[in-house]
Structure 1
């Protein structure tokens, strides 16, 4: 019954309705009788009260269209009971009908439409019976045609205000729909950004930490037997940590600006990646057949690097020291396969952040990825489209 409306809007509506009352009420008295002294005091009082009801409905048209419609009906009925025909103050009825279709609920909307039809008939009958407009016509045919025309004009006048409000209702709904769409798109973009941050943090940090942990474990056992191996392990740990720190700084730079502002890993960085894996005690057996027919797109190179990085990181964590890497650069796609034997103990996890990140990397470039255990081995397979132009 009562809509949410700001205090400023309600104040403007009340002030506007009051100004209209001050302007149209005296005009209506003068318009009805050029000599106001001929009007009886009760008739003038009834007109004033009717005008108050009508413009009172206008003042709360946006706040409560239902109450505004009731006030308009009460004012119109009082005006007819007082013997007044159509007056300038009746413009308030049009404004209330506009409010019912623009801001009213579905029920109030159709009550407003019903008021258009019923009000048109009542206004026509009132003019015919009380004012005697049609009865004064020269013939019965003229009376019928004049009454019909009057009915059509009354419904059109009232209906025009209702239709205008309905059009504004459609505009408001379109705005709300657009606002909701923009909000949903904003939320989706934020969610994608959170996923990207999580994926990049995992890709950048997890691999380096896996190498550092493997080297630290090896150095602890080798320190008592071969101190020089422990020293080499510490050197590798320092180099890997510095590289990880550089990658994290680069990632933070990208997060402050845009993804891709800084340099991204390419196929030329794969040898460095394989060297880090070897330093962690894993000797990858690498096969590239066929070789790239040209320079693959940067997005494909980044996806290949990140997928291999995560797959090799998993082999360091869960493998037994052997991993096979196969790359097939076909004219329209690149096929990736990483196969490592799972060490004895807990089985290879199948739903961690790393596997999710690999699948997302493949999906971002229109490809697909599968990671599953086959007997004693864990296999990662990915197919990434590169197009004929690559």
Structure 2
């Protein structure tokens, strides 16, 4: 079974190179006998599969060397194929094959020395073993060992370079995948933020428009001036909402939006707009205001905005709405309380104080408020009390404004 999976192009290259090596060795093999032809064919086969199956390649090379030595043939040109086989065992073989290649280099150098300087003088036509043969044997052992181990070491070096390149490639792929995941997470968070802002802007503006339109409809016959003021308020609120929506849509088209975000100083304008819509808002503050970061200020603003919007849509329009800020050195506690339109909790009222005609928006708004509070490390609860008052209570921790 092949140890490596190589491409067809690489296998074809190995076969072609082995064939070229065989053609170069053929003239020298023809000068010998059948043993040279068999050994040459085996060495060429070993080169052809050196990357596809390094273990088989090493085994075939040993068979070729055995045939050559059994026929008492001298060194031939095709013996250089051993260098390619040893290189491939280190470069492409598994752990066992890799170390078998090194062992084969040492054992092969020793066997070749004994064969050339001991066995051939004894069994050949020479005069036998002489002291000169022993000196030559030492030289051949050192030279052949250095050459064979060098071929194996070159393969090991190529393997290390290839594995290092593969590790770097995997690291690059992992880094790209991690960057892609972070990018998608950032985009998702940004889109969720924009979705919350879109809900807050549109819901609040539409609530003001609806309240003003209802007032204008009733006052059109008896109080034309009041109807005209209501229509003017509707026009201003609609234009402001349109501008905010355009900014949010622009942020959707660009990943990093530079649109200005509301801060605590904008709460006065927000409350004035709700009061103009007919809601009696009473703002109460206690304690010394502490510094809040930009994200914390946005959370406070959006929570107050959503709570007032729900009060405008689902609360008792004749009852006052209390917006309370309790400042401490560690942060601010918010409470927005409004009486429900149906304090008795009739069949048309949901658990959130929203009428049955529009509970989905109220639930989405409360979820958005809770998410905003949690994102800045705070908490929020929103539920009706037994006295018929719906209370939104939030705690936002202090964080100094960024000076960057």
How does the TM-score come out when normalised to structure 1? Answer: 0.72
Structure 1 residue 185: deviation in Å?
1.6
Alignment match of 1:343 (pick from 341, 344, 351): 341
Structure 1 residue 55: deviation in Å?
4.4
1:54 aligns with 2:65: no
For the Cα contact (< 8 Å) 1:54–1:75, is it kept in 2? Answer: no
Instruction: Show CA shifts across 1:117-154 (max 9, x none).
Output: 33334454455446526995969xx9xx98xx889889
Q: Which residue of 1 aligns with 2:273?
A: 276
Q: Which residue of 2 aligns with 1:316?
A: 312
Instruction: Show CA shifts across 1:151-170 (max 9, x none).
Output: 98897666555555444443
Q: Distance in 2 between matches of 1:342 and 1:44?
A: 104
- Structure 2 spans left out of the alignment, 5+ residues: 69-75, 119-132, 343-348, 353-358
Number of aligned residue pairs: give it: 357
Larger CA deviation: 219-228 vs 169-178 = 219-228
Q: Which residue of 2 aligns with 1:80?
A: 65
RMSD across aligned positions (CA): 4.3
Aligned residue runs from structure 1 range 1-390, under 5 A: 11=9, 13=10, 17=14, 21=18, 29=25, 38-40=31-33, 43-44=36-37, 46-47=39-40, 50-51=43-44, 53-58=46-51, 67-69=52-54, 72-73=57-58, 75-77=60-62, 79-83=64-68, 87-88=80-81, 90-91=83-84, 93-95=86-88, 97-99=90-92, 112-129=94-111, 132=114, 136=118, 160=157, 162-223=159-220, 226-257=223-254, 259=256, 261-292=258-289, 296-321=292-317, 322-344=320-342, 345-348=349-352, 352-364=363-375, 366-375=376-385, 376=388, 377-387=390-400
Give SS of 2:333's match: strand
Larger CA deviation: 354-363 vs 124-133 = 124-133
How does the TM-score come out when normalised to structure 2? Answer: 0.70
Distance 1:269 1:98, change over 3 A: same
For the Cα contact (< 8 Å) 1:331–1:386, is it kept in 2? Answer: no
Q: Distance in 2 between matches of 1:353 and 1:96?
A: 66
Give SS of 1:383's match: strand
